[in-house]
Amino acid sequence: MTVVAQPAPRGSVIASVRTKLTDWVPAIVVFLLAIVVWQLSIQAFHIQKFLLPKPGAIVSAFWTQRGTLWSAGWLTLKEALGGFAIGSGLGIFVAIVLARFRRLGDALMPIAIAANAIPIIAFSPIFNAWFDPLSPAPRMATAGVLCFFPVLVNTLRGLTSVRPAQVDLMRSYAASELDIFRRVRVPTALPFVFSALKVATVLAMIGAIVSDYFGTFGSLGITIKNSVSLFDFETAWAAILMASILGVLLYVAVSLAERFALRWDPTRQERGSA
Amino acid sequence: MSVVSINGLTKTFPKGNVTALQGIDLQIEPGEFVSLIGPSGCGKSTLLRVIGDLIKPSAGTIEVNGKSAHQARLDHDYGMVFQDSVLFDWRTVAKNVALPLEMLGWDRSKRKARVDEMLRTVELQGFGDHYPWQLSGGMQMRVAIARALSFEPALLLMDEPFGALDEMTRERLNIELLDLWRRMESTIVFVTHSISEAVFLSTRVVVMSPRPGRIAGVVNIDLAQPRSADTREDARYFEHVTEVRELLRGIGADEHGSVLAEETV
C-alpha cells in the first residue's frame, strides 16, 4: 500500500499565509497600476471631472465626508442585509420543502428558473407602492426577491444531487428520511448553497442601491443621485466607493463562512500542502 | 438455520419490462463466503440488492436469519460495501467508520472505542483524522470495509468492492478480507466479475447467466483454509478456475460479455 502524503502540520500556517500573500501580489500590483494610470491620464488628457474625477479627489472626498457616507452606507447595508437574510432564508426553506415533495418541486422548478431570468429590479417602484416607502420594507423586498430565486434554484439542485449509493448505504442502516436529510442531503447541498449566497450578496447590494434611487432619504443611492445632479461628482464617486467597500465586505464575510463550513472540501484545499 | 434463504425469486423492472432475475433459489449457511459471478446484465448486483432489501422482489420469498429481508434491514443485519467506497467526503475517516454506529445510537465513547479497534483491524491506525480524499483507493476501500464491519452485521454484502482497484492492491485486499472473514466469523455475499477473485475468496461460487438472470451453476470451492498467496499456485485452484470458466462459456459469456476478456488468469 502506498503511503499517502500527510496533511501539512499546524506549524505551517504562517507559511501558508505567506504563499497566499505572494498569490495576491500580481493582483495588487495591477490594481495600483490602474489607479496610477487613471490619475495620470486625467492630467495628461484633461478629462473633465464629470466624466471621471481623479482617484485622489475621490479618496479625499471620501475622507472628509466619511461620517455622512458611513451613515448613508449603514442605512443601505441594513436594507441589503435584511433583504439578503429574508430572501436567502426563504429560498433555502422553500428548496427544502420542494426537495421533500419532489413532484411539487418538479412542477415548480421550471417556473423558478424562468423567474430567475426576470429582471426583478424592474419591480422596485412597484414595491414602493406595496410597502410603506418611508420604511426599509420596499428596498428589503427588492433585495430579498433578487436573492430568493438563485438561492432557491441552487439549494434545490444541491439537495437533490446526492449520490444514490450514499442513500442506499444509509438505507442499509435503516436510516430515516430525516437521517438521510441531515447526514447526506445537507452536506451535499452546502457547496451549492454557498455559491448561491455569494451571488446573493452582490444582488442584495444592487437591489438596495437601485431601490434607493427612488428616494430613500439619507441612503447611499440617493447620495449618488443627488451629488450627480449637483455636479458634485467627487461625492458621487466617494459614495460609490463606500458601496463597493460594503459590497466586498459582505461577499468576504460569506466567503469566510463558506471556507469554514466546507473545510473538508478537497477542491478548496491548497494543493501545495497535501 | 440459513443466513439467507431465497425461494423462487423473480424480479421484473416495469421500465422496459426487463426480467432481471428469474426463478432464483439459493440457501446461504452461516460462515459461508459466496460469490455471485456472471457477465454484465446477469442480475448479480440486483440479486445482492434484493437480499439487502434495497429492491423489492416481484415474486418469490427471501428470508434473512429467519426474518423478512425488510425486517433484517431494520434490525441492522446488513453491512454493505459498494464498488465505489461511498465514503462521505465531509466526514473524516473515523467519522465515516462511526456512521453506522451513530445510526444505531451508540454513545460517543463506545463509538470511539470501536472505531479505533476497526481502524487497527484494517491497518489504518493514525488515519482517523484524515479526510477520504487524502487516502489512496485501496485505503478508501479498507475504510468502507471497516465501516461495514464496525457494527458486526450478521451478513456482509459486497458489490464488486475491488473492481476499481489495481491488481496488486486487489490481491492484497483479497487476503485481508479473508483474514477478517475468519476472525469475525461473518457470512459474506460477494459480487464480482473476476473468476480468479471468486475462486480465491469463496467457499461457493454461484455462476449466473444473463437475460433473464438465472443461476447457471454452483461450484463448491474446496481449497484449504486459511488461503494465502500460495493458494493461487495450487493445481486445485486452477481446476476450480477452469470449472467456473467452463460454466461461463456454457452460457455464452465469452461471446458478448466482457467477463473473460478482462480476466488475467
CATH code at position A193: 1.10.3720.10
Those of residues 153-212 in B touching chain A at CB distance below 8 A are 157, 169, 172
A3 within some domain? no
Q: How far apart are CA A152 and CA A138, in angstroms?
A: 21
Per-residue pLDDT at A105 exceeds 90: no
C-alpha cell at A271: 494543493
Residues A17 and A36 in one domain: yes
Residues A40 and A174 in one domain: no
Residues A110 and A68 in one domain: yes
Containing structural domain, residue A22: 12-47
Residues A114 and A241 in one domain: yes
Per-residue pLDDT at A13 exceeds 70: no
Helix (H, G, I), strand (E, B) or coil at B108: helix
Structure ipTM: 0.85
Share of chain A above pLDDT 70, in %: 91
Residues A135 and A234 in one domain: yes
**pLDDT tens-digit series, residues A214-254:** 877 888 888 998 888 888 888 999 999 999 999 999 999 99
Substitution target in B86, B111, B143 with the highest count of A β-carbons within 10 Å is: B86
For the entire predicted model, the pTM comes to: 0.81
CB contact under 8 A, A173 and B104: yes
- The answer to whether A268 faces chain B, any CB pair under 8 Å, is no
Residues A181 and A258 in one domain: yes
Residues A25 and A84 in one domain: no
Reduced to 3 DSSP states, what percent helix, strand and coil does chain A have, rounded to the nearest 5?
A: 80, 0, 20
A6 within some domain? no
Residues A182 and A73 in one domain: yes
A261 within some domain? yes
> Per DSSP, what are the bridge partners of residue B67?
B64
**pLDDT tens-digit series, residues A106-128:** 888 888 888 888 888 888 888 88
Determine the pLDDT at residue B91.
Answer: 94
- Tell how far CA A158 is from the center of its chain: 18
**pLDDT tens-digit series, residues B124-159:** 989 999 999 999 988 999 899 899 988 888 899 999
A132 within some domain? yes
Substitution target in B50, B87, B90 with the highest count of A β-carbons within 10 Å is: B90
A2 within some domain? no
Chain B contact set for A166 (CB, 8 A): 86, 88
A5 within some domain? no
Which has the closest alpha carbon to B48: B11, B99, B2? B11
Residues A136 and A238 in one domain: yes
Q: How far apart are CA B252 and CA A102, in angstroms?
A: 43
Residues A111 and A227 in one domain: yes
C-alpha cell at B161: 468492492
Determine the pLDDT at residue A12.
Answer: 53
Determine the pLDDT at residue A195.
Answer: 94
**pLDDT tens-digit series, residues A132-184:** 878 888 899 999 999 999 999 999 999 999 999 999 999 999 999 899 999 99
Distance from CA of B41 to the nearest CA of A (A): 19
Residues A248 and A217 in one domain: yes
Which has the closest alpha carbon to B157: B80, B86, B103, B259? B80
CB contact under 8 A, B73 and A171: yes
Number of structural domains chain A divides into: 2
| Chain A residue with minimum CA distance to B76 | A173
Residues A161 and A261 in one domain: yes
Backbone angles phi, psi at A102, to 5 degrees: -60, -35
Give the mean pLDDT of A16-35: 82
Per-residue pLDDT at A8 exceeds 60: no
Positions in chain B whose pLDDT score sits under 50: 255-265
